[in-house]
Amino acid sequence: MKKVIYNRYGSFDDLQMAEVDIPGIQSDEFLIKVKAVAINPLDWKKLEGQLKIITGKKFPKGIAFDFSGIIENAGNNTTNFKTGDEVFGTLDAMKGEALAEYIVVKTESICKKPKNVSFETAAAILTGGTTAIFLLNKAKIKAGDEVLINGASGGVGMVALQVAKLKGAKVATVASGKGLDFIHKWHPDRTIDYKKDKVTNKPEKYDAIFELAGSLPFSQAKNLLKPNGIYVSTLPNPVDMIKAFFNNLFSAKKNIIIQAHPNQKIFNEISNWMSQNIVEMPVAKTFRIDEFKEAYHFAKKGGAIGKVVFTIP
């Protein structure tokens, strides 16, 4: 089978197509015929060695972790799914090797794909959807809360906007250009074009701020929070984590850093929303698996509205 791998940390030029054996399965595992794989920024952060303290020195490594496909084979002790089921899911983000024709997963990594949702869309929504739900739950968002989403036109931001509005929150969004135009379809209560104005110059105060763009550090955002407001970031670094720890000891304005951990409850919530057309995730562009270098260059360049996805016959 085909699988995209790399044998050292580096750039997209270090990615290569390998011919490897179709993996075998244990009694509690499923063999998935992969149909679509979504690109996430974490893919190139790992490839570049930014997270080598976590990902280690063992090579070769695969790439990507959000996928959809069809169950090709099921182990004898598996439950909930059967051969032929159309599913979507995510692998361990730090070990993911989804960009391949076949992968092996366990029950907790997958969910049934709604019939009305394409393989491409199903693969595209998982990381954004899962992280958005974690954000909203961590901040305990409820009707009437005032929320600021910095980076609202990205994968996480789009879902966070849609779900926050479902919960009855008042949502302000920060984006620009085509992204800002696009998210108007989900009716944010306020929009801020970061190319024309700075959110830090605005007088509004928020119950929660979601930092998804890497451009609004807590040191600036805390002035935009209400007295007991919460700032939640998905883009931590070691220094930020230390600062957040000490801030939270002494301040009522909390600085929370999260890493989403997918589970069946969240998968099913996302699946139900998609099946009812309540939540959506646009696919910006699709590529064949053998166009992996072109696809990653396109995704990293930025500016696309929605996710970049591989389709695999």
51 belongs to a structural domain: yes
Q: 67: domain CATH number?
A: 3.90.180.10
Nearest alpha carbon to residue 284 among 149, 179, 174: 179
What is the distance in angstroms between the CA of the first residue and the CA of the last residue of the chain?
12
Residue 209: CATH number of its domain: 3.40.50.720
pTM for this entry:
0.88
Within a domain: 270: no
16 domain-assigned = yes
Tokens read off for 205: 């105060």
Does one domain contain both 44 and 106? yes
Based on the fold, state whether residues 236 and 143 are members of the same structural domain. Answer: yes
- At residue 149, φ and ψ (nearest 5 deg) are -115, 110
Assess whether 221 and 302 both reside in one domain: no
Of the residues 240, 257, 274, the one at which a domain ends: 257
pLDDT tens digit string along 96-155?
Answer: 899 999 999 999 999 999 999 999 999 999 988 998 998 898 899 999 999 999 999 999
pLDDT at 24 over 90: yes
Q: What is the rounded average pLDDT of the residues 8-23? A: 97
| Domain identity same for 134 and 252 | yes
| pLDDT reading at 81 higher than 60 | yes
Q: Are residues 189 and 250 in the same domain?
A: yes
Segment 215-266, tens digit of pLDDT: 898 889 999 999 999 998 876 554 555 555 545 555 666 555 556 566 788 8
Residue 157 has pLDDT above 60, yes or no: yes
Residue 264: per-residue pLDDT: 84
Same domain, 29 and 139: no
Cα–Cα distance, 218 to 248 (Å, whole number) = 12
For residue 292, the enclosing domain spans 2-113+282-311
Q: What is the pLDDT of residue 214?
A: 82
Confidence tier at 303 by pLDDT (50, 70, 90) = confident
Q: Are residues 163 and 238 in the same domain?
A: yes
Do 247 and 289 lie in one domain? The reply is no
Give pLDDT, residue 240: 57
Kindly report the average pLDDT of the chain as a whole number. 91
Shared domain check, 296 and 187: no
Give me the number of domains the chain comprises: 2
Same domain, 135 and 224: yes
For residues 270 and 279, the answer to whether their CB atoms sit within 8 Å is yes
- 147 and 71 part of one domain: no
The confidence score (pLDDT) of residue 251 equals: 64
Q: Residue 16: is its pLDDT beyond 90?
A: yes
**pLDDT in the model for residue 278:** 92
**Cα gap 16→8, rounded to integer Å:** 11
Note whether 199 and 301 are same-domain residues.
Answer: no
Least confident of 73-77, 216-220, 289-293: 216-220
* pLDDT, tens digit (0-9, with 9 covering 90-100), for 32-68: 999 999 999 889 999 999 888 889 999 999 999 999 9
Report, in angstroms and rounded to the nearest whole number, the Rg of the chain calculated over CA atoms: 20
Which whole-number Å values give the CA distances from 212 to 22, 135, 148, 247, in the listed order? 37, 10, 10, 20
Tokens representing residue 273 in the block:
């929303």
